[in-house]
Amino acid sequence: MSLHRLALIGSLAVAATFASLPAKAGDVDCKLRFNLAGWSVFYKTASGGGTITCDNGQSMTVKIETKGGGLSFGKSKIENGVGEFSGVNGINDLLGTYVSAEAHAGAGKSSKAQVVTKGEVSLALAGTGDGWDIGVAFGKFVISR
């Protein structure tokens, strides 16, 4: 198993632990599979799409946009990204704007994990990809139909 894959698995486990702490009181667990590509020159932006599937049989194709500000430069692409939501009432609870804060630096192939929140709902994200970036960004992770 590659070092990047081990780091990604470890990061996702930690992120999932934090995501489950403030989760909305419900009994539905959902996963997000996504691809995302973007760039940043002071203002960070990326877009892509994915599919949310839940353990109650619900599924939905979604659009994803990220937007943020701060000191950030770079270009990146995440393929086969994974996100986990825990303890929600249903799939429609997952649409909307999540907020995040991150510090990052990378070149070439890299792994990334992050937790974003929307009220009481948290989403633990992880993925690997290509690109280069450096900086600090604060922003939004938007999931829509």
pLDDT, tens digit (0-9, with 9 covering 90-100), for 61-80? 999 998 876 555 677 788 88
At residue 95, the pLDDT reads 97
The mean of the pLDDT values for the chain is 75
Domain ranges of the chain: 3-144
At residue 49, the pLDDT reads 96
Which residue is it, tokens 């943020």?
Answer: 68
For the chain, which residues score pLDDT lower than 50?
3-9, 11-24, 103, 136
At residue 15, the pLDDT reads 47
At residue 85, the pLDDT reads 93
Identity of the amino acid at 4: H
Sign of dihedral through CA atoms 64, 37, 49, 115?
A: negative
At residue 114, the pLDDT reads 77
At residue 112, the pLDDT reads 64
Beta strand residue intervals within 22-95, DSSP E: 28-41, 43-54, 59-88
At residue 12, the pLDDT reads 46
- For the entire predicted model, the pTM comes to 0.72
At residue 106, the pLDDT reads 55
Burial grade of 5 (CB within 10 A; 0-12, 13-18, 19 or more): exposed
The residues near 110 (Cβ < 8 Å, ≥ 6 apart) are 4, 128, 129, 130, 131
